[in-house]
Amino acid sequence: MRAELDFLGLTVKDLSARTGIAQGTLNCYLGVRASMPPADIAAKIASALGVTVEFLVTGQKAKKQNRLFDTNVRSTIQILLELGEKDAETMLGIAKVLKKQSGKN
Q: Domain range holding 76?
A: 70-102
Are 74 and 54 contained in the same domain?
no
The whole-angstrom separation of Cα 4 and Cα 17 is 16
pLDDT of residue 68: 57
pLDDT of residue 40: 92
pLDDT of residue 104: 67
pLDDT of residue 90: 93
Are 40 and 88 contained in the same domain?
no
pLDDT of residue 105: 60
pLDDT of residue 64: 55
pLDDT < 70 stretches in the chain: 32, 61-69, 104-105
The whole-angstrom separation of Cα 77 and Cα 2 is 18
pLDDT of residue 37: 87
Q: Structural domain tally of the chain?
A: 2
